[in-house]
Amino acid sequence: MTTATAIANPNLAFIKYWGNRDNTLRIPMNGSISMNLDGLYTRTTVRFQLGLTSDQLSINGYEVTGKGLDRISYILDIIRGMANLHDRAEVISENNFPSGAGIASSASAFAALALAGSKAAGLDLSEPALSHLARRGSGSASRSIPGGFVEWQAGTSDEDSFAFSIAEPGHWDLVDCIAIVSTAHKKTGSTEGHSLAPTSPLQAARVEDTVRRLDICRKAILERDFEAFASIVELDSDMMHSVMMTSTPALHYWKPASLEVMSCVRQWRAEGIQVCYTVDAGPNVHVLCPETEIRNVEKRLREVKGVSNVLVARAGGPAKVIEK
């Protein structure tokens, strides 16, 4: 086979990845837990072609060169090495969700690339091997290979740093309501942010406490215990943002409207609604609730000042090879 197409969902971390032990291999300082986001996906086709002089990349119909292409070629080079292949490839990738919506497209993009690229090269990689490969492109992409609720074990080397599923998508009817407060592109991307993490005096304490947070979060998911889940997810997000805000240079991703949403969510929970928040490296707020609360939560979110839209996603499956 010289061509293959794959799709992968982005994912939302409940316990966050922030900072690397090894920036090149993307070995994280701490393990993380996430949920794949169903209905949102990247679809990528990889075609190895004799006679191409360089790799080519198009994203949403636009040709990409420079650093964006280099990051893709880095993964294709690993695949070529594994398959003993020398041909360059044409990569065509499309996202069905808007960029700048608070959903990291690098996770779904590198998961789809790892799967489509390895298949197109004639390799039949195991799920852990695909997760390793996706991780080399973007750390969080390691978690978009397995399905449902996923844990990425930090590991200490390329071999033992990969993600696996801890529960199927149908295990818990959690819904992510993404409150959009800004669609502007962030100034500091995650890759640069990870490299700044060690400059915060709070990072060591955050990392040291991670096994405890992972244990509480994993147990809460397995037992579908929303109360325990809500408090650990909010704590973890706030801890990551404390590190971001205290690095040099400081990274402040929250906008006034992000804080407004977080404060409303805390208030609604105090009123007895099962709801909690988490925020990634951007201003938009991911608001989590069980299916039974979704109509109420979505309606309330749309009424919060500064919220321009709400996207809804449930737990999604693993990355898949598809017919084009």
Sheet containing strand 42-49, strands side by side: 62-64, 56-59, 88-95, 42-49, 3-8, 320-322
**Residues facing 90 on adjacent strands:** 47, 56
Window of 75-83, 120-128, 138-146, 263-271 that interacts with ligand DP6 by CB under 6 A: 138-146
Q: Which of 4, 7, 17, 80 binds ligand DP6 (CB under 6 A)?
A: 17
Q: Is 30 in the site for ligand DP6 (CB under 6 A)?
A: no
**Min. distance of Cβ 14 from ligand DP6 in angstroms?**
9
CA 208 to chain centre: 22
Which of 191/199 has CB closer to ligand DP6? 191
Cα–Cα distance between 140 and 13 in angstroms, integer? 8
Token couple for 229: 């889940």
**Tokens (6 digits) for 43:** 């679809």
Q: Binding mask 143-182 vs ligand DP6 (x if CB under 6 A, - otherwise)?
A: ----------------------------------------
H/E run at residue 217: helix 210-222
Establish if 218 lies at the interface with ligand DP6 (CB under 6 A). no
Rounded to a whole number of angstroms, the minimum distance from the CB of residue 140 to ligand DP6 is: 3
| 140 is a contact residue toward ligand DP6 (CB under 6 A) | yes
- Stretch binding ligand DP6 (CB under 6 A), from 9-17, 162-170, 257-265, 316-324: 9-17
Distance CA 312, CA 318 (A): 19
Number of residues that bind ligand DP6 (CB under 6 A): 16
CB 285: neighbour CB atoms within 10 A? 30
A 10 A CB-CB count for 277 gives: 23
Q: Which residues contribute to the site for ligand DP6 (CB under 6 A)?
A: 13, 16-18, 26, 32, 104, 106, 138-140, 190-191, 194, 280-281
